[in-house]
Amino acid sequence: MTPLEERIGYKFRNSLLLAEALTHPSLGHESQRPHFDYQRLEFLGDAVLQLVITEYLFRNFGVEGEGQLTKLRSRLVSREALKTHAAELDLGRYILMGRGEEASGGRERTSTLADAFEALIGAVYLDGGLEVAKNFILTQTRTDLEELAEKPVDINPKGELQELLQSISPQIPVYELVSQSGPEHEKTFVSQVLWEGVILGQGTGRSKKQAETVAALEALQLRRWEKKP
């Protein structure tokens, strides 16, 4: 078994699937030769992840309505959450990428780690089937799922942050779009929240709204306004 297979507890029958899941698009661009990359597996893995998490929430949160279940799922499959799971597997070190991408910090980039984690799910699904992929996903997200069971209450990070800051000053937090990347149908957005000239947090998401929500969550965790002179 490869070191990564040992980490995830699964031996691939088709090792090419694992190689594909760990190949960044920059490798083909830099070599200017046709080369597979993880984008197709990422597309598949995202769907498998959504299905498994949706079924888990449906079965374990029987009294919650559709809106609440959607919010809980968003927390579990956010770019930041997936990046955390990838980091726990040390996934960045196994990704094959172009020298330019690596030099610019590609191995630690949120979008790269989240995409590679979804691609890995897609590869596991194709190689071992839905049950194997389901076990992998539930194992990797166990901590988040346990935390969700303890704190399943509806949260509104943006509203909570604004209310907290307005108890200190009448100035409201402002959200700015830092960057957007990816194809039109599957963009990744990065937003930051500022208050009185201080960047309180930054977040990444598949929509501007999701990126702003993650930024508000980070702001609530870091509480940088308390360090403001």
Nearest Cα to Cα of residue 58 among 142, 50, 118: 50
**Strand-pair partners of 176:** 192
* 46 is annotated as an active-site residue: yes
Tokens of 69: 């279940």
Q: Which residues, at least 6 apart from 15, have a Cβ–Cβ distance to it below 8 Å? A: none
Per the residue annotation, which of 46, 115, 127, 212 is the catalytic one? 46
Please say whether the beta carbons of 88 and 81 come within 8 A. Answer: no
Residue 9 CA neighbour count, 13 Å, CB half: 7
CA angle 130, 150, 165 (to 5 degrees): 115
- Chain center to CA of 79: 2
- Indicate which residue of 20, 80, 118, 218 is catalytic: 118
Give the C-alpha separation, 59 to 52, whole Å: 11
Two structure tokens written together for 97:
């990428």
- Report the SS3 class of residue 227: helix
Q: In DSSP terms, which residues pair with 188 in a beta bridge?
A: 181
What are the residue numbers of the active site?
A: 46, 118
